[in-house]
């Protein structure tokens, strides 16, 4: 895209928009990789709404920690993840409650960048028969390679976006849907994915602020429970 702009085939504004989408996609990828997806700590205990008053509650046989609903143990990461959707090899991390926003943004920005590039390649290369659309051989090969990569990225991210949206609507991740024996009562609120900040922050790869962290993660800790009781008094 930059070389096309340098050859005056595209406006510099067009190239800037594409580079911005790529930068946001890379930032979202980094946040997904390095953000805790929602690991269940050893000090985790049930919320009061999830059976905190019970003496017995489900435990992970591997981690030996509290295992809330829709939590799964990842054999690769060797830890339990709250709201685990799947383990993503491209991210080298699990996708869970803690980084679902960043993963969703990554998919969306890659999808937009791929679609944007395919449209520009079509208008300025494949469907253009004007004299100014004649490019050097190196640039022609680069456009062809980029077209193949963009088609693959567009197809992959389209499927993953549908899967993520379906998971938000049904409240069930890929693992839960594969099991087929779990039924969700209601969809996941958007604020439980993107946070309660201003809407423009939903588009940025920054950590979301949840209205009730314990409710979203479906676990609490003894210090947090004691602090909440003091605040209620």
Q: Say how far apart CA 89 and CA 199 lie, in whole Å.
A: 30
**Phi-psi domain of 200 (left: phi exceeds 0; alpha: psi -120 through 50; beta: other):** alpha
Q: Is 88 a residue of the active site?
A: yes
Closest by Cα among 157, 226, 215 to 186: 215
Q: Which long-range contacts (C-beta less than 8 Å, at least 24 apart) are formed by 11-19?
A: 14/120, 17/116, 18/113, 18/116, 18/117, 18/120
**3-state DSSP: the chain helix, strand, coil percent, rounded to 5?**
55, 10, 40
In 3-state terms, what secondary structure has residue 187?
Answer: coil
Residues listed for the chain: 233
Question: Where does residue 5 rank: exposed (0-12), middle (13-18), buried (19+ CB within 10 A)?
Answer: middle
The one catalytic residue among 19, 60, 77, 88: 88
Quick count: other Cβ atoms within 10 Å of Cβ 51? 16
DSSP 224: H
What residues are annotated to the active site?
Answer: 88
């Amino acid at each position: 895209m930059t070389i096309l702009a340098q050859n005056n085939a595209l406006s510099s504004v067009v190239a800037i928009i594409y580079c911005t989408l790529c930068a946001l996609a890379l930032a979202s990828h980094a946040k997904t990789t390095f953000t805790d997806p929602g690991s269940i700590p050893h000090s985790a205990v049930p919320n009061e709404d999830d059976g905190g008053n019970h003496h017995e509650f489900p435990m992970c046989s591997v981690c030996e920690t509290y295992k809330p609903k829709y939590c799964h143990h990842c054999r690769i990461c060797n830890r339990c993840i709250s709201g685990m959707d799947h383990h993503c090899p491209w991210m080298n991390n699990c996708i869970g409650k803690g980084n679902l926003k960043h993963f969703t943004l990554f998919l969306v920005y890659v999808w937009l960048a791929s679609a944007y590039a395919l449209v520009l390649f079509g208008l300025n290369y494949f469907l253009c028969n004007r004299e100014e659309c004649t490019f050097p051989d190196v640039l022609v090969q680069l456009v062809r390679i980029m077209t193949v990569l963009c088609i693959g990225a567009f197809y992959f991210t389209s499927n993953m976006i549908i899967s993520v949206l379906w998971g938000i609507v049904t409240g069930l991740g890929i693992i839960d849907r594969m099991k087929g024996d779990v039924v969700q009562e209601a969809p996941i609120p958007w604020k439980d994915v993107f946070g309660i900040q201003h809407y423009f922050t939903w588009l940025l790869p920054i950590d979301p602020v949840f209205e009730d962290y314990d409710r979203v993660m479906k676990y609490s800790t003894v210090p947090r429970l004691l602090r909440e009781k003091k605040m209620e008094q």
